[in-house]
């Protein structure tokens, strides 16, 4: 039975390693290319927060439909079969016979004039606009997050290149130190320093792999992408242009574009309608009420008779326990609070636009400084290498120069990343994150 034991052993190995095997096979799948523009487009159709906020628009639409029902005729069909035994009580109790009655009627009510319901429906329609603008605000916020995360990941990938260059320089330094040692120009400590420098560079490279995976997984989560699907990210070359000076006219355009400002203004209009609805509680209402049907002893006995009635009813509020006054004061308070929010939001957007322009201008200038620093660090390293090769100095100058070159390279990567993010913030402050796409055309 050795063959049976061998089969059982193989099945056990497959069951334990099956998931790893499948994972290994899946990792060999072709990577999916993701561009910056596609990432922003996916926000509208895949991001969980955006999809949930979109449901609030549907809820607002249905709530308005419920409010509108108060303005339409209300018609019901009632069918009742009665059977009763009555008695007259006097000097003597007289019990009459059992009577039957069946009624089938259409009952209707239509409010010809109800100012409160009209104002409430207008407020509910305005709530649809508020919900729609709220969804747009959420979408812009998520787009800004996705754009920033995309640039974060590109920065992390660029740092991989910087770290690989560090390893290459450390390896060349190690070989140079060994050659100098063999030639009797350097000492063993120079080789040891080079080995130490190489180990530090390799460790930093390993740590960066985790950083890259973290930013990639974060972007996948924002876009609801398969966590196991490999992605290939397309670099984005944001145009390096000065954003110009701040103008009051641009602030007004930002007010009209920013979804949160439009939403705040629409909510203010909704509050005004709520005040009107509360005040309309003091006005009379007019309704048309009627019913039509037939009555008989028992259903379908053929001895039915038509019955109908109609009335025009007017209701005039006389005293409602100060309820209308309380509702009006409450609505007025909500309106005043919203007016304060709108004013504060105007100041906030104006400040964000000013700061975003200043930050983009500063970040653009920092790129030039970082590029100059990188050129100087490269020159310093070249000079240090010549001194070591000529035996004038040990390799400590090279190690220090390599560290400064690494810092300068990383500083340039960080400066470009910060500038890209500042352009995202400027586009968001202007009203639409997607403005950054038109800047590159």
Q: Is the pLDDT of residue 28 over 80?
A: no
Residue 320: CB partners within 8 Å, gap ≥ 6? Answer: 281
Contact indicator for 201, 167 with CB cutoff of 8 Å: yes
**pLDDT for the residue 163:** 94
What's the mean pLDDT in 389-412?
Answer: 89
Q: Quick one: what percent of the chain has pLDDT higher than 90?
A: 48
> Residue 235 gets which letter from DSSP?
P
Residues in the chain: 441
What's the mean pLDDT in 5-27?
Answer: 45
**pLDDT for the residue 29:** 64
Q: Quick one: pLDDT band at residue 201, thresholds 50, 70, 90?
A: very high
Q: Is the pLDDT of residue 61 over 80?
A: yes
Q: Is the pLDDT of residue 11 over 80?
A: no
**pLDDT for the residue 284:** 87
Q: Is the pLDDT of residue 27 over 60?
A: no
What's the mean pLDDT in 98-102?
Answer: 84
Q: Is the pLDDT of residue 15 over 70?
A: no
**pLDDT for the residue 209:** 94
Q: Quick one: pLDDT band at residue 299, thresholds 50, 70, 90?
A: confident
**pLDDT for the residue 185:** 80
What's the mean pLDDT in 383-388?
Answer: 89
Contact indicator for 152, 417 with CB cutoff of 8 Å: yes
Tokens describing residue 394 = 């040990």
Q: Quick one: what percent of the chain has pLDDT higher than 70?
A: 90
Tokens describing residue 98 = 């059992």
Contact indicator for 284, 314 with CB cutoff of 8 Å: yes
Tokens describing residue 249 = 């006219």
**pLDDT for the residue 440:** 56
What's the mean pLDDT in 25-53?
Answer: 84
**pLDDT for the residue 1:** 42
CA angle at 41 for the pair 36 and 42, rounded to the nearest 5°: 100
Closest by CA position to 242, among listed 35, 4, 439, 383: 439
Q: Is the pLDDT of residue 418 over 70?
A: yes
What's the mean pLDDT in 403-430?
Answer: 94
**pLDDT for the residue 13:** 44
pLDDT tens digits, one per residue of 166-178: 999 999 989 988 9
What's the mean pLDDT in 128-147?
Answer: 92
Q: Is the pLDDT of residue 427 over 70?
A: yes
Q: Is the pLDDT of residue 183 over 90?
A: no
Residue 178: CB partners within 8 Å, gap ≥ 6? Answer: 191, 194
Paired residues of 33 in beta bridges: 232
- Higher pLDDT, residue 358 or 21: 358
Tokens describing residue 46 = 């895949």
Q: At what angle do helices 188-222 and 396-430 cross, to 10 degrees?
A: 20
Tokens describing residue 209 = 């792999």
Contact indicator for 27, 231 with CB cutoff of 8 Å: no
Q: What is the mean pLDDT of the chain?
A: 86
**pLDDT for the residue 217:** 94
pLDDT tens digits, one per residue of 129-138: 989 999 999 9
- For the chain, the straight-line distance linking the first and the last C-alpha, in angstroms and rounded, comes to 73
Q: Quick one: pLDDT band at residue 24, thresholds 50, 70, 90?
A: very low
Q: Is the pLDDT of residue 35 over 50?
A: yes
Question: Which of 186-195, 235-244, 407-416 comes out lowest in average pLDDT?
Answer: 235-244
> What is the model's pTM?
0.78
Q: At what angle do helices 36-46 and 48-68 cross, to 10 degrees?
A: 40
Q: Quick one: pLDDT band at residue 5, thresholds 50, 70, 90?
A: low
CB atoms within 10 A of CB 240: 14
């Amino acid at each position: 039975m050795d063959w049976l034991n061998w089969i059982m052993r193989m099945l056990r190995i497959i069951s334990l390693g099956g998931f790893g095997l499948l994972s290994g096979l899946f990792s060999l799948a072709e990577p999916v290319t993701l561009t910056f523009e596609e990432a922003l487009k996916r926000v509208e159709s895949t991001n969980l927060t955006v999809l949930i906020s979109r449901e609030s628009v549907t809820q607002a639409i249905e709530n308005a439909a419920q409010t509108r029902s108060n303005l339409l005729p209300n018609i019901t069909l009632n069918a009742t079969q009665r059977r009763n035994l009555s008695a007259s009580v006097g000097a003597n109790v007289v019990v009459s016979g059992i009577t039957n009655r069946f009624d089938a009627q259409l009952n209707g009510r239509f409010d010809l004039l109800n100012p409160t319901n009209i104002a409430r429906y207008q407020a509910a329609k305005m709530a649809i606009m508020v919900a729609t603008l709220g969804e747009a605000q959420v979408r812009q916020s998520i787009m800004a997050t996705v754009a920033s995360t995309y640039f974060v990941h590109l920065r992390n990938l660029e740092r991989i290149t910087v770290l690989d260059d560090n390893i290459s320089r450390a390896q060349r330094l190690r070989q140079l130190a060994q050659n100098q040692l063999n030639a009797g120009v350097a000492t063993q400590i120079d080789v040891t320093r080079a080995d130490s420098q190489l180990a530090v560079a390799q460790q930093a490279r390993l740590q960066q792999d985790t950083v890259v995976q973290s930013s990639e997984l974060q972007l996948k989560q924002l876009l609801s992408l398969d966590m196991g699907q490999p992605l290939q990210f397309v670099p984005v070359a944001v145009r390096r242009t000065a954003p110009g000076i701040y103008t009051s006219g641009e602030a007004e355009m930002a007010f009209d574009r920013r979804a949160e400002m439009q939403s705040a203004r629409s909510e203010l209009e909704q509050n005004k309608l709520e005040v009107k609805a509360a005040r309309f509680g003091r006005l009379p209402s007019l309704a048309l009420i009627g019913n039509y049907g037939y009555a008989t002893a028992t259903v379908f006995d053929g001895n039915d008779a038509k019955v109908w009635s109609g009335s025009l009813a007017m209701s005039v509020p006389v005293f409602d326990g100060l309820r209308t006054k309380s509702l009006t004061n409450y609505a007025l308070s909500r309106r005043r609070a919203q007016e304060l929010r709108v004013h504060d939001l105007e100041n906030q957007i104006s400040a964000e636009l000013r700061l975003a322009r200043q930050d983009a201008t500063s970040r653009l200038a920092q790129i030039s400084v970082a590029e100059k620093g990188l050129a100087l660090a490269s020159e310093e390293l070249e000079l240090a290498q010549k001194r070591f090769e000529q035996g004038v100095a040990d390799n400590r100058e090279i190690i220090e120069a390599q560290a400064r070159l690494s810092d300068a390279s990383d500083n340039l990567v960080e400066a470009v990343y910060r500038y890209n993010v500042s352009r995202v913030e400027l586009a968001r402050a202007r009203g639409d994150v997607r403005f950054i796409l038109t800047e590159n055309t």
